[in-house]
Structure 1
Amino acid sequence: MSGKEYNGEPGCRSPEEVGQSYRHFFDPTAYWQCGGRQQADLPAQLRRCPTNELFYDRERRCVKWKDWQWTEPQDPPTKPRK
């Protein structure tokens, strides 16, 4: 991604991304959601965890902040076409 740092948004173009959630690299309360098969190739949707929860990429879901641990960001299988 030219010009700014990559935030973890998936391209939602590979079969393994369908219906999956991915970490937002800079905001632990947010995550990216790819649509299901019918929405393949649509941009990822930015979602927010409920209050007092953070997105835990090891479990690919929001967890209570006390159960959250920092992990090294991993790029998703594809990135958006921009």
Structure 2
Amino acid sequence: MLEFDWSVSTNEDSGGDEADIPKGFESNLRISVSLALLVLVAAVSAIHIQQRYHGQDIYAEPDCSIVEDHSRMFRDISDPTHYWVCPEGQEMADYIQCPDNHAFMEKEQKCVVWEEWKWVEPYTK
């Protein structure tokens, strides 16, 4: 850990009465340095967390390496007649087509006839 010497030299060392640094400067300097260090730590932490985050891209194949519920089906936003599943132990998702005249509904976790299908706004990361 870095340690700082916060001492202030004055003219008293050389026989003078007044400080070389204006009154209150040392306190302001401490606050400024502390804030700068806090911002630096926050930035480094944010970068580190961002590099570890593997969120699902809602428009593409799910990342099976982070999927915990292998029975869950993931919708394909660009084609409602298909959905994705991540079988346990498999790195790549399976892309499955609904039966003819059916489309996938994520909330119901099944293919429904087109007459029952409704557009649902996709969730975002």
Q: Same fold (TM over 0.5)?
A: yes
Q: Which amino acid aligns with 1:44?
A: A
Structure 2 gaps of 5+ residues are: 1-56
2:72 alignment partner, one of 15, 20, 24: 20
Deviation string 1:20-58 (CA, Å, 9 cap, x unpaired) is: 11100100101111103xx25x11111100000000111
Aligned 8 A contact 1:29 1:54 in 2: yes
Structure 1 segment 1-82 matched on structure 2, within 5 A: 7-12=59-64, 13-16=66-69, 18-36=70-88, 39-40=89-90, 42-74=91-123
C-alpha separation in 1, matches of 2:58 and 2:101: 25
C-alpha separation in 2, matches of 1:75 and 1:55: 18
Identity of aligned residues (%): 34
Displacement after TM superposition at 1:6 (Å): 6.0
Q: Which has the higher contact order (CA 8 A, sep 6+)?
A: 1
The number of residue pairs the alignment matches comes to: 68
Structure 1 gaps of 5+ residues are: 77-82
Report which of the two structures shows the higher radius of gyration computed on alpha carbons: 2
So what's the TM-score if we normalise by structure 1? 0.70
C-alpha separation in 2, matches of 1:60 and 1:8: 17
More helix by share: 2
So what's the TM-score if we normalise by structure 2? 0.48
More strand by share: 1
Q: SS of 2:115's equivalent?
A: helix
Q: After the TM superposition, which segments of 4 or more aligned residues of structure 1 sit over 2 Å from their partners?
A: 5-8
C-alpha separation in 2, matches of 1:73 and 1:8: 12
Q: SS of 2:63's equivalent?
A: coil
